[in-house]
Amino acid sequence: MALATNMRRNACLVTNWLVASGKLNFLSVGFEHASYSIIRKTNGLRIFGDQLEASRTYATSCAKLSDEIQKENSDSNMLVDSFGRMHTYLRISLTERCNLRCQYCMPAEGVDLTSTPKLLTRNEIMRLANLFVSSGVNKIRLTGGEPTIRKDIEDICLELSNLKGLKTLAMTTNGIVLARKLPKLKECGLSAINISLDTLVPAKFEFMTRRKGHEKVMESINAAVDLGYNPVKVNCVIMRGFNDDEICNFVELTREKPINIRFIEFMPFDGNVWNVKKLVPYSEILQTVTKNFVNLTRLGDHPTETAKNFRIDGHQGTVSFITSMTEHFCAGCNRLRLLADGNFKVCLFGPSEVSLRDPLRQGADDNELREIIHAAVRRKKASHAGMFDIAKTANRPMIHIGG
Ligand code: SAM
Ligand code: SF4
């Protein structure tokens, strides 16, 4: 406790220095004074369900579900929900641990970790992944926490990439140790990569992540380009007063390299003291980009695409926007999440989770596990629309993050 308090105090001192020295004008410094009662297990959020439920008319967005999706989704083995959405994309959180402490994601002292015996083993991950792939999942993304810190990450990639029916094995990583691991990961079948980077200024990186390592992330992005990943996706959460002045510098990275910059709207996680003033909406980021770069063209998106994608004349790379807060993309959602503790989530913004680990360890056979998965998918809600409106009017964080 005393250690945590000291760490927070030190972080505050650094913040104050950065602000006072004019190196940062970010923040109403709320991040450092957050009450970090985080329930964080995974790459997911938990919204206060009652508030959300009360405010939603769930059916609306599904009326927009395209014919294209519905036509594809008739096979009963497939993971189709009651709105006709077929789920082909599974995100697996491989660990709750991380080697960074991004202010918008984790408290300085880290998160309460699930004890090791309660985490899925590699064999358990493989057994479940196999079930998902045999039910139509064709893309798996490895995430966390930080997936690259798992010692068996290469073996996991190799085994997953050998699953018959899997077309894409992707990873989202902070890039700190990626450069040296990537050649081997590529050999093991990692076919797509997202690297998170929120600033091009090393001092700001250190402030935001509470760790050094900007150079290493840049090295990883370049290594990924050199190894032929195309595109190399770069995730950038835009926060007012922190990095909204860097939008055009990020877009510049796409000029000479096959980099896809993905501007992500800042989401409210429990503990990150989300505040509507720090949210830079998609419309505003897009305006900044169009003012500074001519001939921005919207690319045709697949109905399940969560990003709005654009190309710019003369640029090798592309620019995308993930508009979870201001323009949700629930109608075409095809995503599922398996958390490091074996809990299964059908919606990042929904509160419900079902344990797959427990029945698996109690001896459930494949059919029984499949039925649990299918039943959870069938119960999936139509939409989390309205979260932004609720969050906007609230004075406190609305969501408990997990990993
Ligand atoms: N550690 C890995 C990384 O940072 O890439 C994978 C896990 S991280 C939780 C996955 C993605 O979520 C990252 O791109 C991160 O920037 C994004 N993220 C975390 N907190 C966020 C927030 N409050 N709003 C929007 N995106 C967030
Ligand atoms: Fe770690 Fe990724 Fe969260 Fe940053 S965003 S603290 S790198 S899990």
- Mind listing the pLDDT tens digit for each residue in 307-362? 999 999 999 999 999 998 888 778 888 999 999 999 999 998 877 899 999 999 99
Between 40 and 328, name the one with better pLDDT. 328
Domain boundary among 316, 331, 346: 331
pLDDT of residue 270: 62
Q: Assess whether 218 and 161 both reside in one domain.
A: yes
CATH number at residue 130: 3.20.20.70
Which pLDDT band holds residue 186 (cuts at 50, 70, 90)? Answer: very high
Give residue 188's Cα distance to chain centre. 23
Which pLDDT band holds residue 210 (cuts at 50, 70, 90)? Answer: very high
Which amino acid residue places its CA nearest to atom 23 of ligand 1? Answer: 267
pLDDT of residue 302: 81
Q: Which ligand is nearest to the CA of 264?
A: 1
pLDDT of residue 113: 95
CA 100–ligand 2 middle distance (angstroms): 6
Domain boundary among 77, 104, 128: 77
For the CA of 144, the closest atom of ligand 1 is: 7
Ligand 1, residues at Cβ distance < 6 Å: 43, 98, 104-105, 143-144, 146, 172-174, 196, 235, 237, 264, 266-267, 269, 272
Q: Assess whether 192 and 48 both reside in one domain.
A: no
Which pLDDT band holds residue 74 (cuts at 50, 70, 90)? Answer: low
What helix, strand, coil percent values describe the chain, rounded to 5?
40, 15, 45
CA 203–ligand 1 middle distance (angstroms): 19
The number of residues making up the chain comes to 403
Under 8 Å between Cβ of 176 and 213: yes
Cβ atoms within 10 Å of 86's Cβ, excluding its own? 21
Q: Which ligand is nearest to the CA of 234?
A: 1
Ligand 2, residues at Cβ distance < 6 Å: 98, 100-102, 105-106, 144-146, 174, 196
Within a domain: 378? no
Between 189 and 104, name the one with better pLDDT. 189
Q: Assess whether 46 and 99 both reside in one domain.
A: no
**Ramachandran bin of 22, using left for φ above 0, alpha for ψ from -120 to 50, beta for the remaining angles:** left
Within a domain: 148? yes
Which DSSP string corresponds to 76-137? TTS-B-TTS-B--EEEEE--S--S---TTTS-TT--PPPPGGGSPPHHHHHHHHHHHHHTT-
Within a domain: 346? no
Within a domain: 400? no
Q: Assess whether 171 and 102 both reside in one domain.
A: yes
Contacts of 401 (CB under 8 A, 6+ apart): 38, 39, 40, 44, 45, 46, 105, 269, 270, 271, 272
Q: Assess whether 319 and 200 both reside in one domain.
A: yes
Q: Assess whether 174 and 42 both reside in one domain.
A: no
Within a domain: 72? yes
pLDDT of residue 385: 59
pLDDT of residue 44: 34
CA 119–ligand 2 middle distance (angstroms): 19
**Which pair of structure tokens corresponds to residue 150?**
């798992």
Q: What's the mean pLDDT in 3-16?
A: 34
For the CA of 101, the closest atom of ligand 2 is: 6
pLDDT in tens, 216-267: 999 999 999 999 999 999 999 999 999 999 999 999 999 999 999 999 999 8
Q: Assess whether 49 and 184 both reside in one domain.
A: no
Within a domain: 26? yes
CA 291–ligand 1 middle distance (angstroms): 28
pLDDT of 101 > 60? The answer is yes
Q: Which ligand is nearest to the CA of 268?
A: 1
Which pLDDT band holds residue 13 (cuts at 50, 70, 90)? Answer: very low
Within a domain: 170? yes
Q: Phi, psi (5° rounding) for residue 23?
A: -75, -20
Q: Assess whether 187 and 251 both reside in one domain.
A: yes
- Its domain, for residue 237, covers 89-331
Which amino acid residue places its CA nearest to atom 8 of ligand 2? Answer: 145
Q: Assess whether 179 and 54 both reside in one domain.
A: no
Q: Inter-axis angle of helices 153-161 and 122-134, to 10 degrees?
A: 20
For the CA of 194, the closest atom of ligand 1 is: 5
pLDDT of 10 > 60? The answer is no
Q: Assess whether 121 and 174 both reside in one domain.
A: yes
Identify the sign of the CA torsion 100, 266, 90, 178.
negative
pTM exceeds 0.75, yes or no: yes
Within a domain: 289? yes
Q: Assess whether 68 and 98 both reside in one domain.
A: no
Which amino acid residue places its CA nearest to atom 10 of ligand 1? Answer: 172
CA 385–ligand 1 middle distance (angstroms): 21
CA 67–ligand 1 middle distance (angstroms): 32
Contacts of 248 (CB under 8 A, 6+ apart): 288, 289, 292, 293
pLDDT of residue 389: 54
Q: Assess whether 70 and 99 both reside in one domain.
A: no
pLDDT of 85 > 80? The answer is yes
Number of domains in the chain: 2
Q: Phi, psi (5° rounding) for residue 179?
A: -55, -45
pLDDT of 16 > 60? The answer is no
For the CA of 195, the closest atom of ligand 1 is: 5
Domain boundary among 297, 331, 365: 331
pLDDT of residue 388: 54
pLDDT in tens, 125-134: 999 999 999 9
As a whole-number percent, the residues of the chain with pLDDT over 90 amount to 63
As a whole-number percent, the residues of the chain with pLDDT over 70 amount to 75
Between 48 and 156, name the one with better pLDDT. 156
pLDDT of residue 201: 98
pLDDT of 71 > 90? The answer is no
Mean pLDDT estimate for the chain: 81
pLDDT of 205 > 70? The answer is yes
